[in-house]
Amino acid sequence: MINIVLFGKPGAGKGTQADILKKHYELFHISTGDLFRYHIQGSTDLGILAKSYMDKGDLVPDKVTIDMLEETVTQNSNVKGFIFDGFPRTTGQAEALDAFLTNKSMSITATIALEANDKILTERLINRGKTSGRVDDQDENKIRNRFEEYNNKTAPLKSFYSTQGKFYSVNGIGSVEEITQRLTRLIDGFL
Ligand code: ADP
């Protein structure tokens, strides 16, 4: 099994690359952002709760996010592997994921960060907001808050995974194809 965590700030291109990589390696793609948006569309209790955080650019509480993630993995256990996109985003989530996977005799193969600077990321998000309808992409203050959430809560995961020897960094600036090539060159080394 190969289990990849795609890591990076909002707008880094995790969703775009995960979509390509899942087909290339036949992996199951789990995007916590997409799962939340799915629940919001269906107006489930989980969706209503998540929306109150997401619209402000805040992270959804760990317990809610972890339960949803674990349920999705459990429901899809007969796959070649997973691409986790947007999870884990806090040390609590990373610890919960490790414990959960260990319990299932699984583990993270690698955590790969897509790196790009805030200026480029903000431009990408504002652009996406024009067509995605995502409230959190349409306002620079909300985008700034998401970067702050990332710096405060998610960035510490670099050392969490580095300590395990599982942290890799890839230049996230360039064409979609160029970035895919950088990623596949790296991931092919884990097969
Ligand atoms: P992006 O990475 O571009 O910010 P996502 O679709 O991954 O977009 O996430 C959108 C929002 O969903 C986040 O700002 C946050 O509110 C919520 N979210 C997604 N994943 C998590 C997570 N692992 N923990 C907490 N909140 C999350």
- Catalytic status, residue 144: no
SS (H, E, C) the chain: CCCEEEECCCCCCHHHHHHHHHHHHCCEEEEHHHHHHHHHHCCCHHHHHHHHHHCCCCCCCHHHHHHHHHHHHHHCCCCCCEEEECCCCCHHHHHHHHHHHHHCCCCCCEEEEEECCHHHHHHHHHHHHHHHCCHHHCCHHHHHHHHHHHHHHHCCHHHHHHHCCCEEEEECCCCHHHHHHHHHHHHHCCC
Closest-CA residue to 18 (of 87, 71, 66): 87
Asked if residue 13 lies in contact with residue 125, where contact means CB atoms within 8 angstroms, the answer is no
The residue with tokens 């999705």 is: 72
Nearest CA to ligand 1 atom 3: 10
List domains and CATH numbers for the chain. Answer: 2-184 (3.40.50.300)
* pLDDT for position 147: 98
Kindly list the averaged pLDDT for each block of 10 residues, start to end, along the chain of length 191: 97 98 98 97 98 97 98 95 98 98 97 97 96 93 97 98 98 98 98 93
Mutate to test the pocket of ligand 1, among 36, 95, 114 (most ligand atoms within 8 A of CB): 36
Determine the pLDDT at residue 112.
98
Structure tokens given for 168: 């890799």
For ligand 1, residues with CB inside 6 Å are 10-11, 32-33, 36, 53-54, 57-60, 65, 86-87, 89, 93, 136, 146
Distance CA(48)–CA(12), nearest Å, equals 26
How high is the pLDDT of residue 120? Answer: 97
- Is position 37 annotated as part of the catalytic site? no
- What is this structure's pTM? 0.96
d(CA 86, ligand 1 centre) in Å: 6
Minimal-distance CA residue to ligand 1 atom 6: 33
Cα torsion at 66, 58, 154, 119 (round to 10°)? 140
